[in-house]
Amino acid sequence: MKMSHPMSRGFTLIELVITLAVVGIVLAIAAPYGAAFINKSKARSLTGELTRSLMSARSQAITYGRTVSVCGRSAPDTLACAANAEGWRNGWLVFWGGPAVAPTAANLIANVNRAQGNVVLNAAAVRVVFYPNGRASPANNGLFTVACRNPGEGAVAKFRTVQLGANGFLNTVIDGDANYAC
């Protein structure tokens, strides 16, 4: 009697090795673009969050007829304004009061924490103040810059600039949207 062996189904070792090699090559090519995509998404998100906070502060000032300030934080999870413009990298505070008022739990409107990463926020002012008539101080065409830091190089590429006019209106300028921008 003749014994027949059924044909086995599956992949050979060589087929698996070739498939894994092709997948590895594709991932190696795509990885830098994936990191750039993530950084650009983070930069867009940061720009949007900052713009929404500033627009909300202006709206609160007009709606309630009170002065509203926005300042960079002295450190993460604190209710103190930073002494310099570097504080915006830790997040920001929105609160009732003018230039001489310090933020407290009683006058706090919004509290934004931010972790340091490849996307950085550079500011030209320590504090922005919105008055009941909607005007803002200081007015500056390059008040905030959102940039991406390339980890290996230490170089910073400008991505967006948020401009604030004396009338309190915001304008976002696209500085770079190509793959090398972030």
Tokens 């770079």 found at:
176
In this predicted model, which residue has the larger pLDDT, 156 or 10? 10
Residue 176: is its pLDDT beyond 80? no
Tokens 């202006």 found at:
58
pLDDT for 36 equals: 76
What is the rounded average pLDDT of the residues 172-182?
Answer: 67
- Tell how strand 140-149 and strand 156-164 pair up: antiparallel
